Amino acid sequence: MELDELLKKFREYSTQDTTLLEYAWNYASESHHDQKRASGEKYFIHCAAVAEILVDYKMDLETVAAGLLHDVLEDTKIPHETFRKEFGEEIYALVSGVTKIETLKFSSRDEAQAENWRKMILATAKDIRVIVIKLADRLHNMRTLNYMPKEKQLEISHETISLYAPLAQRLGIFQLKSELEDLSFKYLFPDEYQSLLAKVQLRYAMREKLLEDFRTEMENHLAGSNVPHRVLSRAKNLYSIYRKMLRQEKPFEEIQDALGVRIITDSVINCYALLGTVHSVFKPVAGSFTDYIAVPKMNLYQSLHTSVMAGTGEIIEIQIRTEEMHRTSEYGIAAHWRYKLGEKGADRHLDEKLNWLRQWIEWLQDISSPREFIESFKTDLELDQIFIFTPKGEVKPLPVDATPIDYAYAIHSDIGDTCIGAKVNNRMVRLDQPLKSGDICEIITRKNSAPKKDWLGIVKTAGARSRIRKYLREHGLPEQ
């Protein structure tokens, strides 16, 4: 990508003055001028590619500039103070947040990796854009991984699929998450990847007519409804199909819903109107409806999900959402940075929407052992969530295998601290019993009761663990 092209794409969505962007381009190009990548290409090509990914996600000027400069502090001899004077505090903070820790000595690779993640998470507590730059950096590295030695390919792919892809999912950046997963899958399980790719392409070719017929029939019925809408085809990413095959212990041929459509409209009320039309025309599959508009996922994702039977007997997954929900589902948190610029019609509630992430980051700061940090981090990034109901019908999303203690702390720290028992679906259960989606949970509390240190071995969420530790510390009790 050339500078003119980058500036043109940036100006399509932003009115910010691009002088700083041009300066960052030239500065990074000069700083890396004698460095090469494993492919033999000039190193700066990577910096430009990261900036292009950030522009595709419509990030603000400071983030794109930091993308161009993200390796300057780590890979060149330019002093931090010089860099800070050249680009100011905001861009310096973003770049130093992305920079890895190379100087510290650790007793194991696990510890070094955990410390890198901890540094990134702490930088993110100050500015969530750090993670978005890090994800763009990792995406381009994965796209060019074929130039690395086999051992390095496996190591980087494993880290990507177990930490970076779930993090992208947690931030709601599904497009990026899917590409990271499929690229990792390609290196970790090359035979399964190639076999599945061939089958998916063949099935898609065979089903293209089916999908076209389905869309036409649906369009005919929706046309009379006067509800504005557009229909998009959707193919699942390979890795999610592979995970489903493993989870259900079925071959690809028996996986029903690898194909689907999205219907995008202009308002929430029209989402439900379109759902009614779809269900009146096509037979819905029992138990397939989920309302993520009324109960959004923790990463801001909203849509109506349903599966219906096409005339040929095939099952097709349908997602119905507004244009804004669609933008959030593609770009996640990245979709909200434009609003920071004070544009007309801006979302003034960005901070509120990001509160769960900041809270989670604060909890993670409480963990001292690097290994435990990584384990807690992975648990809280769990792709699959369960939904637990309060007796009043409110919904609390939790990671799979969460316990009544996790649930108690999810309601309020005081409820967690004074919890002495739990009823699930009106029956008393042990506090270490894993909860299941749809359970109605009621916590029994007693005044002056307190958390027990053995709860640390039971709870799954960073929030619960952090609160228990805080209580033990404040009361001078040992954690071990």
pLDDT tens, position by position, 16-56: 999 999 999 999 999 999 899 988 999 999 999 999 999 99
Q: d(Cα 366, Cα 89) in Å, to the nearest integer? A: 27
Selecting among 56, 75, 257, 324, the annotated active-site residue is: 75
Three-class DSSP labels, 368-421: CCHHHHHHHHHHHCCCCEEEEECCCCCEEEEECCCCHHHHHHHHCHHHHHCEEE
Closest CA to 291 of 390, 357, 387: 387
Query: What type of residue is 285?
Result: V
Query: What type of residue is 465?
Result: R
Cα dihedral 83→84→85→90 (10° resolution): 130
- Residue 105, H or E segment: none
pLDDT at residue number 25: 97
In order, the DSSP letters of 433-470 are: PPP-TT-BEEEEE-TT----GGGGGT--SHHHHHHHHH
pLDDT at residue number 344: 41
**Residue segments in the chain with a per-residue pLDDT below the cut of 70:** 100-126, 235, 256-259, 298-299, 333-384, 479-480
Closest CA to 407 of 394, 393, 397, 418: 397
How many helices and strands, by DSSP H and E, does the chain display? Answer: 21, 11
310 neighbors 317 (Cβ within 8 angstroms): no
Contact partners, residue 265, CB within 8 Å, separation at least 6: 227, 228, 229, 271, 274, 320, 321, 322, 323
Contact partners, residue 7, CB within 8 Å, separation at least 6: 18, 21, 22
Q: d(Cα 124, Cα 118) in Å, to the nearest integer? A: 10
pLDDT at residue number 139: 96
Catalytic (active site) residue 74 = yes
Q: d(Cα 287, Cα 284) in Å, to the nearest integer? A: 9
Degrees, nearest 5: CA angle 364-369-371? 90
pLDDT tens, position by position, 109-164: 666 666 666 666 666 666 778 888 999 999 999 999 999 999 999 989 988 988 78
Region of 209 (left: φ > 0; alpha: ψ -120 to 50; beta: rest) is alpha
407 neighbors 435 (Cβ within 8 angstroms): yes
Burial (CB count <10 Å: 0-12, 13-18, 19+), residue 337: buried
Q: d(Cα 290, Cα 369) in Å, to the nearest integer? A: 38
pLDDT at residue number 348: 47
Report all structural domains of the chain as residue ranges with CATH numbers, in order of start: 3-188 (1.10.3210.10), 190-333 (3.30.460.10), 351-474 (3.10.20.30)
Q: How distant, in Å, are the alpha carbons of 18, 25, 91, 123, 355 from that of 61?
A: 7, 12, 10, 19, 24
Q: d(Cα 326, Cα 301) in Å, to the nearest integer? A: 9
pLDDT at residue number 480: 61
Selecting among 5, 30, 41, 74, the annotated active-site residue is: 74
Give phi and psi for 247, each to the nearest 5.
Answer: -65, -40
Catalytic (active site) residue 442 = no
Q: Radius of gyration of the chain from Cα atoms? A: 24
